[in-house]
A and B are shown apart, each in its own frame.
Chain A
Amino acid sequence: MQNKWQQDQWVRPNLKRYRKLLCLVFFLGVITILCGVGLMFVAGYLISRTATHPYNILVVYVPVLLTRAFGIGRPAFKYLERINSHNWVLKITSSLRKRLYVTLESSALFLSEQFQSGKLLGFLADDIDHLENFYLRTIFPIVVAYLTGIVLLIGLGIVSWPYALVMFVLFVIILVVIPLLSQSIQGATRVRQRELVQDSYQRLTDATFGIADWMISGRETEFVQTVRKQDEPAGKLNRKANLFEWNRDFVVKLLFGLMIMVTIGWAALALTGHQESANYATAFTLGIFPLMDSFGAVPQAAEEGPMYQESLNRLNDLSRQVKPQPVKPEHLPAPQSLQKIHFENVSFHYPKTDTDIIQQVSFTVPAGQSLAIIGPSGVGKTTLLELLTGSLVPTQGQVWFDQLPAHDLQAVADQWFSVLDQQPFLFNTTIMNNVRIGNEQATDDDVKKAIQEVGLADLVNELPDGLETDVSENGVRLSGGQRQRLALARILLQDNPVVVLDEPTVGLDPITEQQLITTINRVLAGKTMIWVTHHLQGLNHVNQIIFLENGHLKMQGTPAELYRTNERYRNLYRMDLGE
């Protein structure tokens, strides 16, 4: 735990970086509580003092003034504290967001399948929100209560150290012992609760997706019970946790009762020497009441701490996985000078595994020609593409771009490769901006021309705002085919020599698919195309087909050759055509 905290890169650096504002927040927090205490303290004194019938109100002029000052000060400081703490947390959020982005950006992970699903990304974005709460709900109240406790104890120590000692013990019980106890008893429960919630999310989602089967199976009671049964452990845990909290809060209240009794007792023993000092008895006693709110919240805040641990761990794990940025070698050839891409006996296996996903694969693609890679799912087609673009390095053999290994191009990959995959990502902005991502220097006319070429001009003209129309989040307003065309327009603007097509037509209906393939072939003519697909449709135009199975090359040749010589290819081809 200690060690983890030392290595933390998400909470600690921010505490340091914005420490001035942070200190202000703590200061305001402490002052707020002290004003509350002060108000009751002075009011208590005021009443006791006036009860001795002084000859003139001026005698209590200072307490009267102070009462008003504390009365105004408490809400004012509280207001300032809340404004500043929110400001601080939002500042932190800005830099956490940037940090998360930069971490992900540089992480070698980011091409992996896990990330593409978007689920983990959602988690990480949530984690940032969780950290916000960690500051506001755990760190701030605890630190402010501790600082206040210390200030009060020093004050009391000056008045009477034996009394201060007793109060110290009570403070320690409320601020340290009970929170620690809470954390050790409830911390695990909280984490477990969160896990159970995750579980039930998963299962309920599962059941909801299968609702058709449940419905026609006629097993209604069982459906309800299956889902409900999963709630039982969570429900039990909740009740247990609540019971603990109620009892704990009650005990904390009793401790405050005890504190008040102790104070009265001490006042009766120590302050009754003179009437003047006896006037302070009420002041000390009433001063305790405002502490009940702020100190009483500490055990709860401490208890919630471990809940954020998971988020923090996940973020820190991410930081550890960051790989160094690829170094850009000097004297790189211009992308347009490419003559051929050559796979030379390439084999690949992931670290810590022995099975080669790609075994001894060799082929050559001359610049300007096209290659199709086909084969069933999960045979390493995607791995082959990652080797091609240099994001993976072969364990044996080499991928050559003329005389250059592919991974040397990593740092300048965005000038060599364009990628069109299954689900092109559209940003939540206008069509214009989405296309211009391809080349930020492109003029409006360039963008229009690209859109025209991919066959979207009619669609854009029909839209009320034309190119300035927003595609709503993740492009849901556009159909699958239209989204692919938009992404294709980007690639046209990017104008790189090598285009990788990673199953871009999956999920489209055959007519849309056919139309898209025609467009792709037309607009990308002259570029080196590497095309991964599991349909044979539209492959007649490619120069070369390789058939991948279990990491091996099974067939290789032109479409016509394969159709003539290979029966398996012929069967698949016929089925795909619907014969």
Chain B
Amino acid sequence: MFDQQLLSIPGIKKLIGKLSGLAVLQALTIVLEAVFLARALVVVWQREKIAALVVPVLSFFVFFALRYLITRIESQITDNFADHAVDQLKEQLLQQEFRLGPRMVADVGSGHVVTLALEGLNQVQNYLDLIVLKTINMAIIPWIIVAYIFFVDWLSAVILLLMFPVIILFMVILGLSAKSKSDQQYAEFKQMANVFVDSIRGLKTLKLFGLSKKYGDNIYRVSENYRKSTMSVLKVALLSTFALDFFTTISIAIVAVLLGQALIVGSIGLLPALIILILCPDYFFPVRDYGDDYHATLDGKNALTEINRILVIPAPHSEVPLVDFQNWAKDSQLDVRDLNFTYPQADQPALSDLNFTLHGDSNVGIIGKSGAGKSTLLNVLGGWLQPDATEKDQPLVVDGQAVDSLAQPAWQKHISYIPQHPYIFAGTIAQNVAFYKPVADKAAIQQAVHQAGLDKFIAELPQGLETVIGEGGRGISGGQAQRIALARALLDTERTILLFDEPTAHLDLETEYELKQIMTKVFHNHLVFFSTHRLHWVSAMDYVLVMDQGRIVEQGTPAELKQKNGVYQELVNEIRGENNAE
């Protein structure tokens, strides 16, 4: 029942120790509170003087207050622990995200990563807040109370003791049968919620086809059907709570009646009888408390499992470090030899047997249909994906050094990456441009901004370079975002390798045209990898890799490819279709 993962959280043993101590103390205050309350009630019952009440009533209050003071302290200790543990987990999760990089984040799902890091961790916190404390209380408090009752009246103690396994048994039986049903119900519920969101999202479509009015009744009907099926499941599912409640209250009733009979025959005094009666609800309280929150903690348990799963995903890493690589230079050379890459859990390799050699400041176009492996190749070149391990030679050779992977700081500090939607973080334009090189001076930033063709855009802004963009700031167009990413790459002159992944796919023709004038200027003095399916870029390249189904099916200079009249030319013809303007 106790989740094994919890034991690996640092500091949990200390917490268990502390809470156990407090639970023992609390059990004692519960007993003493009951004893003094019973005494006070006996004084009233015996119609003694009011003065006789002072000591027992005040003592009762003191222990009553102490009892709840302990509860309060327990909450605080547990919460501090959970806070700290969740903090640590968050840090680990972020570091892991950083290590895994874009490709892996995309695999796990960026939305999922964010949800886990926020909501998931919240649920974990809730789980830690509840589960440890309630388990310990259940494991300690009832037993101390029942032990005390045993000394007062063994028969009552036996009844209470017998009830405990009955309660647990019923909880388990009903819980199990209800669980499978409610799991199924939960799935239905999810589906129902999806149908609802689906129809709201598709409202425009429904309206266009004149169906939107009719659909409103459909939503109501589906929702009502769902209600009916849910209710039939709930009727069973809630029985477990009913059983728990039923056995606790009925035990109290039985004990009360039994005590009454014992009192009539005089085999027990009023004081012990009252003490037992007062202690009865407290005996059952921890198990009820645990049962009430049990379901609430399930989400947290699952979230913790999921986080632990992500934390152990292997990050791309190099076994063979790249030494003595200063920077990409005119005489640098990259050889790719029999490079293969397979995604985890995939049957087919996403890249198979790639071979090519590049020198100096080549501008390399990577073209091919969607799904040909263009992005995967860029991710391998960026060091975010680990090529398949080979028995023979290492697949990548940088300036004569064979390495197993480009997940190398020495390599990565020289690359820039410009995807379709470049990352613009919340901050000023200057900060965004200086992202790779936060210490850059203003003149250098202005120079980079100028090169990226942003002068006119910035001149129109009242705050110029200090304009806040990104989340919560001024919105910028896709074309401007590309230019800012370009300026970012240009500012850090150490970054001589540029990776472009479909940077203009979503831009309109004129914006693309303008951007092309700027970009082609930048291409000189850089090693450029440019993945695109807009073929006009090919004329700006001096080497082209044509990809299809994870393989390089053709490579060479644009002129060579044209001459060959092979796959490349086929692609060109297909794209032009039947176009003949003249």
B509 proximal to A (CB < 8 A): yes
What 11 new A-B contacts, CB under 8 Å, besides A94-B224, A377-B478, A572-B509? A53-B266, A72-B249, A72-B250, A98-B217, A118-B201, A203-B471, A264-B41, A285-B41, A511-B533, A536-B509, A575-B513
B582 within 8 A of A: yes
Q: How far is the CA of A111 from the CA of B205 in the complex (A)?
A: 10
B450 located at the interface, meaning its Cβ lies under 8 Å from any Cβ of chain A in the complex: no
Residues on A with C-beta less than 8 A from B270 are 47-48, 51
Some 7 contacts from A to B, beta carbons below 8 A apart, are A43-B252, A48-B41, A83-B235, A125-B200, A264-B44, A514-B575, A578-B575
Q: Does A186 contact B (CB under 8 A)?
A: no
Tell me if B227 and A91 are in contact (CB < 8 A): yes
Residues of A within 8 A of B204 (CB): 110-111, 115-116, 425
Interface flags, B494-528, vs A, CB<8A=1, else 0: 00000000000111111111001000000000000
Convert A49-84 into 0s and 1s, putting 1 for each residue whose CB lies closer than 8 angstroms to a CB of B: 111011001001001100110111011101100110
Among B193, B198, B435, B509, the one with the most A-chain Cβ atoms within 10 Å of its Cβ is: B509
B-facing mask of A495-510, CB < 8 A → 1, else 0? 0000000000011011
A213-B423, A223-B98, A577-B576 as given contacts; A204 in contact with B114, CB under 8 Å: yes
B460 sits at the interface (CB 8 A) = no
- The answer to whether A340 has its CB under 8 Å from any CB of chain B is no
Interface-central residue, A94, A536, A560, by most chain B CB under 10 Å: A94
Interface SS majority for chain A: helix
Bits for B550-582, please: 1 = Cβ < 8 Å to A, else 0.
000000000000000000000110111111111
CB < 8 Å: which of B71, B117, B253, B412 contacts A215? B412
B241 CB-CB contact with A under 8 Å: yes
A177 is an interface residue with CB less than 8 A from chain B: no
A219 to B423, CA, bound (A): 15
Q: What's the interface size class on B, roughly?
A: 35 or more
A321 at interface, CB cutoff 8 A:
no
A212 touches B384 (CB 8 A): yes
**Cα–Cα, bound, A104→B61 (Å):** 58
Contact of A212 among B95, B238, B260, B382 (CB under 8 A): B382
Question: Whole-angstrom distance between the alpha carbons of A64 and B242 in the complex?
Answer: 22
- What are the interface flags for B269-290 relative to A under an 8 Å C-beta threshold, 1 for contact and 0 otherwise? 1100110011001000000000
Q: Which of A146-154, A242-250, A303-311, A353-361 contacts B (4 or more CB under 8 A)?
A: A242-250
B113 A208 Cβ-Cβ under 8 A: yes
User: Does B291 lie at the interface of the complex (its beta carbon under 8 Å from any beta carbon of A)?
Assistant: no
Do A43 and B253 contact each other (CB < 8 Å), given the known contacts A212-B417, A286-B277?
yes
Known contacts being A213-B435, A216-B412, is A203 close to B426, with CB within 8 Å? yes
For B399, the chain A residues whose CB sits under 8 A away are none
Pick the interface stretch among A158-166, A365-373, A414-422, A458-466.
A414-422
Q: What is the 8 Å Cβ interface bit string for chain A, positions 213-250, against chain B (1 contact, 0 not)?
A: 11111111001100110010001001100110011011
Contact with B along A371-382 (1 / 0, CB 8 A): 000011110000
C-alpha gap A268/B44 in the complex (Å): 5
The chain A residue sitting closest to B73, CB to CB, is A246
Q: Restricting to B413-459, which residues have a CB under 8 Å from any CB of A?
A: 413, 415-417, 419, 421-426, 435-436, 438
User: Which of these, B200, B213, B370, B488, contacts A124 with CB under 8 Å?
Assistant: B200
Give chain A residues whose Cβ lies under 8 Å from the Cβ of B320.
none
**A400 cross-chain contacts in B, Cβ below 8 A:** none
Q: Is A339 on the interface with B (CB-CB < 8 A)?
A: no
Given contacts A105-B216, A202-B471, contact A264 B57 (CB under 8 A): yes
Closest to A198 in B: B118
Stretch binding the partner chain, chosen from A270-278, A329-337, A342-350, A447-455:
A270-278
Task: Check if A511 sits within 8 Å of B90, measured CB to CB.
Answer: no
B1 within 8 A of A: no
Tell me the interface secondary structure of chain B in the complex.
helix
Which of B22-30, B75-83, B298-306, B348-356 lies on the face that meets chain A?
B75-83
* Segment of B6-14, B175-183, B534-542 in the binding face: B534-542
Does the CB pair A414–B250 fall under 8 Å?
A: no
Q: How far is the CA of A79 from the CA of B174 in the complex (A)?
A: 14
Alpha-carbon distance A215/B417, docked complex (angstroms): 10
Whether A510 pairs with B216 at a CB distance below 8 angstroms is no
Q: Number of A interface residues, CB 8 Å? A: 162
When the two chains form their complex, are residues A47 and B263 in contact, meaning their CB atoms are under 8 A apart?
Answer: yes
- A227–B273 Cα gap in the complex (Å)? 60
Q: Residue B245 at the A interface, CB < 8 A?
A: yes
Which of B62-70, B131-139, B142-150, B330-338 lies at the binding interface? B62-70
Most buried by A among B252, B412, B477: B252
A173 within 8 A of B: no
Beta-carbon contact of A67 and B575 below 8 Å: no
Among A39, A206, A275, A376, point to the contact of B510 (Cβ < 8 A): A376
Those of A395-433 within 8 Å (CB) of chain B: 413-415, 417-419, 424-425, 427-428
B145 CB → nearest A CB, Å? 15
Tell me how many residue pairs across A and B have CB atoms closer than 8 Å: 413
| Segment at the A interface, from B45-53, B157-165, B339-347, B390-398 | B45-53
Does any Cβ of A come within 8 Å of B184's Cβ? no
Assess whether B490 is interfacial by the CB under 8 Å rule.
Answer: no
Q: Are A125 and B256 in contact (CB under 8 A)?
A: no
Closest 4 CB pairs of A and B: A210-B423, A414-B210, A71-B253, A534-B508
B466 within 8 A of A: no
A-side contacts of B382, CB under 8 Å: 212, 216
From known contacts A51-B270, A72-B250, A86-B231, infer whether A246 and B95 are also in contact, taking CB-CB under 8 Å: no
Closest chain A CB from B70 CB (angstroms): 10
Partner of B94, one of A115, A213, A223, A264: A223
Q: Which of A211, A378, A437: most chain B CB closer than 10 A?
A: A211
Q: Which residues of A contact B321 (CB under 8 A)?
A: none
A201-B114 in contact (CB<8A): yes
Q: A60-B260, A90-B231, A414-B209 are in contact. Are A121 and B45 (CB under 8 A)?
A: no
CB contact between A507 and one of B60, B202, B506, B576 (< 8 Å): that residue: B506
- A438 to B61 CA separation, bound complex (whole angstroms): 74
Query: Among A4-12, A15-23, A133-141, A254-262, which stretch is in contact with chain B?
Result: A254-262
Residue-by-residue, is B113-135 near A (CB-CB < 8 Å gives 1, otherwise 0)? 11001100000000000000000
For the complex, what is the distance from the CA of A267 to the CA of B61, rounded to whole Å?
Answer: 17
| Cα A253 to Cα B26 with chains together (Å) | 15
Contact present for B211 and A440 (CB under 8 Å) = yes
Q: Check A212 against B205 for contact (C-beta < 8 Å).
A: no
Q: Given the complex of chains A and B, what is the CA–CA distance between A57 and B265 in angstroms?
A: 10
CB distance A264 to B508 under 8 Å?
A: no
Cβ-based interface call for A195 (8 A): no
Interface residues of B in 16-46 (CB under 8 A from A): 37, 40-41, 43-45
